[in-house]
C-alpha cells in the first residue's frame, strides 16, 4: 500500500493524495480501517511498555488481521502491548531483540508456534533507520561469528569481517508520541522516544497516537523529532501508562 495511491477516510469525508485535508482521525479503529490486512509487516515503536502505541495495538487486535510480521524491540508483556496479539495468535513472526518479560512469547517460540528473527538491539535500530532512509542494506561487525550472522553475506573492510543486514521497510508503522500538531509533526517524551522515530520513518504508511494535538505552527521546530512528512494519520488517545517493573527503595 503506497502513500501516493492511498485514499484516506476522515470524519469529515475523504481525500486523495494531493488534496489538503486533516490527518486527524476520531479513533484508533478509524485510523486503522482500510490500512491493515493479513500478512503485513508492521513496525511498532516502544521499549518494554515505554512509548508503545497501546491503543493502536488494541485496535490492531480488533481488526482481526492475522499472519502478521511485527518488527519491534520486544513483544510487551503477557497482558499488555503486543503480548495481546500473541494471545490471539495474530502474530506469525517477530523481528525483535528481547523476549525476557513475556512468558507467552517464550512459550510460543519454544513450541515452534512463533517464528522469531533475533536481531541485536543496535542493529535493529539501524535496520529501521536504514529502511526509512531508503538504504536497502548495510554492514556491521555486530553478530559476526555468531548465529545471528549465519547465512548472511560477509565482507572484509580494512582487514576486518562485517556482516550484511537488510533495512526494514514496513507496510505500516505504529508509533506513540507525547505531542503532535495537526500537520503531523511529532514530539516524543524522554525515554519514550526510544525506537519511535525510526519506526515512524520506515513505514510506507505511519499512524501515530498522540496524547496532545496542537495547531500546526505551535511546536518549536527545533523540538520536533519526527517531521510531518513521515506521518499519515493521527489520533488523540489517553494512555494508561502501565509500569512494567516497579522498583522501590527500602525505607529501612
In the three-class reduction of DSSP (H, G, I as helix; E, B as strand; rest coil), residue 144 is classed as: coil
- What is the model's pLDDT at position 32? 98
- Of the pLDDT bands very low, low, confident and very high (cuts 50, 70, 90), residue 6 is very low
pLDDT, residue 246, reads: 77
Check residue 12 and give its pLDDT: 30
Mean pLDDT of 231-246: 87
Confidence of residue 7 (pLDDT cuts 50, 70, 90): very low
* Domain chopping of the chain, boundaries: 37-139+167-236
pLDDT value at 105 more than 70: yes
Q: Model confidence over 110-124: pLDDT tens digits?
A: 999 999 999 999 999
CA distance 63 to 35: 10
Reported as a single tens digit per residue, the pLDDT across 127-181 is: 999 999 999 999 999 999 999 999 999 999 999 999 999 999 999 999 999 999 9
142 CB neighbour count, 10 Å cutoff: 16
Task: Check pLDDT > 60 for residue 3.
Answer: no
Cell numbers for 144: 559476526
- What are the tens digits of pLDDT across the range 180-238? 999 999 999 999 999 999 999 999 999 999 999 999 999 999 999 999 999 999 999 99
Tell me: the pLDDT tens digits for 67-101? 999 999 999 999 999 999 999 999 999 999 987 77
pLDDT of residue 20: 52
- What contacts 115, CB < 8 A, 6 or more positions away? 92, 93, 94
| Dihedral-angle region of residue 134 (phi above 0 means left; psi in -120 to 50 means alpha; beta otherwise) | left
Nearest-angstrom CA–CA distance, 237 and 30: 13
Query: Looking at the predicted structure, is the pLDDT value of residue 15 above 50?
Result: no
pLDDT at 100: 76
Residue with the bigger pLDDT between 43 and 14: it is 43
In contact, 8 and 21? CB cutoff 8 Å? yes
pLDDT the model gives residue 51: 96
Alpha-carbon Rg of the chain, whole angstroms? Answer: 19
Chain mean pLDDT for the chain: 90
Quote the pLDDT of residue 153.
98
Lowest mean pLDDT among 11-25, 50-64, 77-91, 109-123: 11-25
pLDDT at 5: 35
Fold of 37-139+167-236: Glutaconate Coenzyme A-transferase (3.40.1080)
Amino acid at each position: 500500500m503506497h502513500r501516493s495511491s492511498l485514499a484516506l477516510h476522515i470524519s469529515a469525508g475523504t481525500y486523495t493524495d494531493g488534496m489538503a485535508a486533516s490527518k486527524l482521525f476520531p479513533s484508533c479503529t478509524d485510523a486503522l480501517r482500510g490500512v491493515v490486512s493479513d500478512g503485513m509487516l508492521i513496525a511498532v515503536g516502544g521499549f518494554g511498555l515505554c512509548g508503545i502505541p497501546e491503543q493502536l495495538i488494541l485496535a490492531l487486535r480488533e481488526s482481526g488481521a492475522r499472519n502478521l510480521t511485527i518488527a519491534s524491540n520486544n513483544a510487551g508483556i503477557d497482558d499488555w502491548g503486543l503480548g495481546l496479539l500473541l494471545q490471539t495468535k495474530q502474530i506469525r513472526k517477530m523481528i525483535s531483540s528481547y523476549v525476557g518479560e513475556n512468558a507467552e512469547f517464550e512459550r510460543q517460540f519454544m513450541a515452534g508456534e512463533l517464528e522469531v528473527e533475533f536481531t541485536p538491539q543496535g542493529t535493529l535500530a539501524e535496520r529501521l533507520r536504514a529502511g526509512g532512509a531508503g538504504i536497502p542494506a548495510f554492514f556491521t561487525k555486530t553478530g559476526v561469528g555468531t548465529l545471528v550472522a549465519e547465512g548472511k553475506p560477509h565482507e572484509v573492510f580494512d582487514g576486518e569481517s562485517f556482516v550484511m543486514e537488510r533495512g526494514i521497510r514496513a507496510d505500516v508503522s505504529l508509533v506513540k508520541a507525547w505531542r503532535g500538531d495537526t500537520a503531523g509533526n511529532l514530539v516524543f517524551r524522554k525515554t519514550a522516544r526510544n525506537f519511535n522515530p525510526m519506526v515512524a520513518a520506515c513505514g510506507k504508511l505511519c499512524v501515530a497516537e498522540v496524547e496532545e494535538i496542537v495547531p500546526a505552527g505551535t511546536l518549536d521546530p527545533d523540538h520536533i523529532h519526527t517531521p510531518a512528512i513521515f506521518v499519515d494519520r493521527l489520533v488523540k488517545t489517553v494512555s494508561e501508562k502501565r509500569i512494567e517493573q516497579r522498583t522501590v527503595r527500602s525505607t529501612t
